[in-house]
Amino acid sequence: MRLAALPRFPLAQLPTPLEEAPSLSAVLGAVRVLVKRDDLTGLALGGNKTRKLEYLIGDARSRGATVILTEGPAQSNHCRQTAAAAARAGLRCVLVLNSPASDPPLQGNLLLDYLFGATVHLVTERTARRALLERLAGELEQRQERPYVIPTGGSTPVGAAAYVRAALELSEQLVERGIQASRVYLATSTSGGTHAGLALGAKLLGAPFRVVGVAVEDDTKAIREQVATLANETAALLGLDIRITPEEIVVDDRWVGPGYGVPSSETLEAIVLAARTEGLVLDPVYTGKAMAALVGQVRRGEVAPGETVIFLHSGGAPALFAQADQLATVFRNGVKVAQ
Ligand SMILES: Cc1ncc(COP(=O)(O)O)c(C=O)c1O
């Protein structure tokens, strides 16, 4: 495998801890939950993007880039981490963010984008991001800059390769500790890089666990196709003779709730449950929904008694502060959490 040959700019504290979650396990009953703490990757409040950015910034530097451009919603964790990674690498960072408000509140990830010195361009529609990003890259090129454009979520084969490495890391931790895990839960979307890398890594290793992507937006078919395509492109980049079909990609789409970025009551309950049992900080967009799926699957009896499952905590805490209102409503109305 050509993973070690990829240029890499060190940003992350690895391996991330694999922690037992005994109180959460006790509340759920009959299953053992462990948390893979990728919220502790160490860069700018952590998260899954740090791993990807090690390879993306490595690639940018090897191509002589002077400026990094990327896109996302105003509360994008990926954009916040990219701004911080660019600062660490001494590169300029330009972000194109979408928000329905012309002047969105300066908090959560958006606040941090400015803190890390990124130049922020706002558009109202997600669909307007790409064209502006390309125009800005073109203008920079004309000014003798060398732009490096990272697509949404850093989900390119170079970025996804980081999660093949994470699968190897997790597998090593499990073997070292003699733990047989049957499932790994993670938040997934039409970006899909984390899911693609983990699914490819798991297949490469013949891992005993099934990678369960929990959809945080509608369109399961598109997620499956994107994850499989990206996994195959990543396999080609790494020189692996492995193919993954969309049918092999496991997506649980029952926890999306009202839509991308909008938490359901299950999401909010899962956030509160994880906080009050394990002191974990989950977010309303990604990890809260992934935890809602884990909890929901156990409660519905879909996870057999005695199974050991892993929850990939992919970060996202700054978004919690940006959506404080929703949690405040929960606290005001009293929270029903099984304990
Ligand atoms: C906290 C968090 N978890 C999960 C994801 C999904 O990762 P990916 O873009 O690799 O699908 C993201 C993406 O932004 C994220 O911010």
Which protein residue's CA is at the shortest distance from atom 13 of ligand 1?
153
**Catalytic residue (one of 25, 76, 155, 191):** 76
Q: Looking at ligand 1, which residue's alpha carbon is closest to its atom 6?
A: 188
Q: Would you say residue 36 lies in a domain?
A: yes
Q: What local confidence, expressed as pLDDT, does residue 338 receive?
A: 52
If pLDDT is split at 50, 70 and 90, which confidence band does 330 have? confident
70 ligand 1 Cβ < 6 A: no
Report the share of the chain in percent with pLDDT over 90.
94
Which residue, of 154, 187, 202, is where some domain finishes? 154
Statement: residue 165 has pLDDT above 60 = yes
User: From the CB of residue 198, how many other CB atoms can be counted at a distance below 10 Å?
Assistant: 27
Amino acid letter, residue 244: I
Residue 335: what pLDDT? 64
Does the beta carbon of 209 sit less than 6 angstroms from any atom of ligand 1?
A: no
CA of 187 to the centre of ligand 1 (A): 7
Mean pLDDT along residues 250-260: 96
Closest approach atom of ligand 1 to CA 187? 4
Residues 43 and 54: beta-carbon distance below 8 Å: no
Same domain, residue pair 30 and 105: no
Residue-level pLDDT at 103: 92
Q: Does the CA dihedral 193-198-199-205 come out positive or negative?
A: positive
271 and 160 share a domain? yes
d(CA 161, CA 201): 9
Domain boundary among 109, 137, 154: 154
Cα–Cα distance between 41 and 209 in angstroms, integer?
A: 23
- Give domain status of residue 297, yes or no: yes
Take residue 207 and report the two structure tokens written for it: 């891992």
pLDDT of residue 80: 98
For residues 262 and 218, the answer to whether their CB atoms sit within 8 Å is no
Number of domains, the chain: 2
Shared domain for 11 and 143, answered yes or no, is no
- Closest atom of ligand 1 to 186 CA is 4
Q: What does the DSSP 8-state code read for residue 43? A: S
Is the pTM for the entire model greater than 0.85? yes
Ligand 1 site, residue 193, Cβ cutoff 6 A: yes
Q: Which CATH number goes with the domain that contains 147?
A: 3.40.50.1100
13 and 71 fall within a common domain: no
Q: Are residues 300 and 201 in the same domain?
A: yes
Cβ of 234 closer than 6 Å to ligand 1, yes or no, is no
Same domain flag for 39 and 67: no
Domain boundary among 154, 185, 206: 154
Do 107 and 229 share a domain, yes or no?
no
Give the structural domain span for 14: 3-47+155-333
Is the minimum distance from the CB of 188 to ligand 1 under 6 angstroms? Answer: yes
Asked if residues 24 and 272 have their Cβ atoms less than 8 Å apart, the reply is no
Structure tokens at 321: 């502060």
* Structural domain includes residue 120: yes
Centre of ligand 1 to C-alpha 142, Å, is 33
* Helices (runs of H) and strands (runs of E) counted in the chain: 12, 10
In this structure, the answer to whether residues 26 and 59 fall within a common structural domain is no
Q: What is the pLDDT at residue 332? A: 84
Q: Is 100 inside a domain boundary?
A: yes
Same domain, 37 and 53: no
Mutate to test the pocket of ligand 1, among 49, 229, 256, 271 (most ligand atoms within 8 A of CB): 49
Q: Is the CB of 191 under 6 A from ligand 1?
A: yes
Say what the pLDDT of residue 268 is: 95
Q: Which two tokens stand for residue 112?
A: 């941090």
Closest ligand 1 atom, residue 72 Cα: 14
| DSSP track, 245-284 | -GGGSEEE-TT-TTBTTB--HHHHHHHHHHHHHH-----T
Phi/psi of residue 297, each to 5°? -65, -40
Q: What is the pLDDT of residue 336?
A: 64
- Express each pLDDT in 99-149 by its tens digit: 999 899 999 999 999 999 999 999 999 999 999 999 999 999 999 999 999
pLDDT at residue 329, rounded to an integer: 84
Using alpha carbons only, what angle is made at residue 96 by residues 98 and 197, rounded to the nearest 5 degrees? Answer: 95
Distance 190 CA to ligand 1 centre (A): 10
Are 110 and 25 found together in one domain?
A: no
Residue 310 lies inside a defined structural domain of this protein: yes
| Whether residues 224 and 313 fall in one domain | yes
pLDDT mean over 48-65? 98
CB atoms within 10 A of CB 208: 12
27 and 171 share one domain: yes
Instruction: Decide if 339 is inside a domain.
Output: no
User: Of 128, 126, 130, 110, whose CA–CA distance to 118 is shortest?
Assistant: 110
Q: Distance, CA 147 to ligand 1 centroid (Å)?
A: 24
Atom of ligand 1 nearest to the CA of 152: 9
Judge whether 54 lies within some domain: yes
- Element holding 86 (H helix, E strand): helix 77-89
Task: Identify whether 76 is a catalytic site residue.
Answer: yes
Q: Is residue 338 part of a domain?
A: no
